[in-house]
Amino acid sequence: MDKLPKTETEAAPDAMRAAFHKYMDDTKLADIMSAAVADLYELEPHERPEDPVAFVCERMKVHQHAFAHADASHARENGS
């Protein structure tokens, strides 16, 4: 049986999801978050901080700066 076309209300979550994924890609938020959590994962158990949320937030700032620097370098290399 063929599906009926989605109503505007049913299509809205798909559009919102697509917009959110674009936002995540454009801001590199998922990459930054993943890198920060990877930093936590790579610590030895005795090195892990008491406050992992603060650690991840701080590492996200570091990775955000690194990603921005890499993007700027890439843009310079490509003459943008």
Report how many domains make up the chain.
1
pLDDT of 76 above 70: yes
Domain assignment present for residue 1? The answer is: no
pLDDT tens digits, one per residue of 2-38: 676 666 667 678 889 999 999 999 999 999 999 999 9
Domain assignment present for residue 72? The answer is: yes
Domain assignment present for residue 6? The answer is: no
Would you say the pTM of this structure is higher than 0.85?
no
Domain assignment present for residue 14? The answer is: no
**Domain housing 80:** 49-80
Domain assignment present for residue 39? The answer is: no
Angle at 62 between CA 24 and CA 55, to 5 degrees: 95
**CA–CA distances in Å: residue 69 to residues 5, 31, 75:** 45, 14, 10
Distance between CA 74 and CA 80 in Å, rounded? 9
pLDDT of 55 above 90: yes
